Chains A and B, each alone.
Chain A
C-alpha cells in the first residue's frame, strides 16, 4: 500500500522568501507526481505535475523529483501572502484511468507580510 509522507507539517515564510516542501513515497513503481494547493474553504487545485527525474520550473514554483530516493519536493520562490495555503503531494503509479491518486497529509504554508 502506497504511503506518502510530507514534511514539514507547517512552515512560516517571510514575504519574498523561499518555501521548501518535501514529500516521500513508498512505492517504487510510482510514476506520476502532483502538487495540489488548497485554500481555506475550497477544494484542492492542481499546482503542477512532474513525471521525470530532475527539476521542473513553472513561474515561481519548482518541483524536483528523484525516483531513486523516493523523494519529490516543491520550492516556492519569492513567496507571496496569497501562497498561504495547504499543499499536498499526490502520487499515482501510472496515469491509467483506473489508478488512484494517493495524497500526503499536507504542509500548511503561512507567508508573513
Chain B
C-alpha cells in the first residue's frame, strides 16, 4: 500500500533557528507533494504544492524564503522552517499522491515546538 513517512516526529528548536523536516513516499511515486501546517484551533493551511516538472507553488502568507522546499525525486521531499518563531509552531504535514486520480496520502506529521 501507499505510505508516507515523515521525520522527525517532533522537534524543539530555539526561536530564530531553523529546522528541516523530511517526507518519504513508499509504495508509489509522489508526483505531487503538498506541505500543510495544522495549528491549534485551525484547519490545515496549505504552505505549498510541488508537482514534478512544475515550479513549486506557495500559498499566500507562505514564501520560499521562509519555507524552502525540495522535491528532487518521486519518493522524497523536504521542507525547512527558517528562522522559526512562536507563530511557526504546529504540526507540519506532508501529503503525497501519484498522478491525478488518487487521493493524497499523508504522513503522521512533524510537530514543531519553538522555545
Contacts and interface: CB of A to CB of B under 8 A. Distances in A.
A44 B106 contact: yes
B42 to A, nearest CB: 7
Query: A interface, how many residues as a size bin?
Result: 20 to 34
A104 B43 contact: yes
B99 A49 contact: no
Contact of B106 (A45, A95, A97, A106): A45
A105 B106 contact: no
Nearest to A36: B106
Interface of B: 4, 6, 31-32, 34, 36, 42-44, 46, 49, 51-52, 54, 57, 59, 93, 95, 99-101, 103-109
Given A46-B103, A97-B100, 20 more contacts: A36-B106, A41-B108, A43-B4, A43-B6, A43-B95, A45-B106, A88-B44, A95-B100, A96-B100, A97-B51, A97-B52, A98-B49, A100-B34, A100-B57, A100-B59, A101-B46, A101-B104, A103-B36, A105-B42, A105-B43
Interface of A: 34, 36, 41-46, 49, 88, 95-98, 100-106
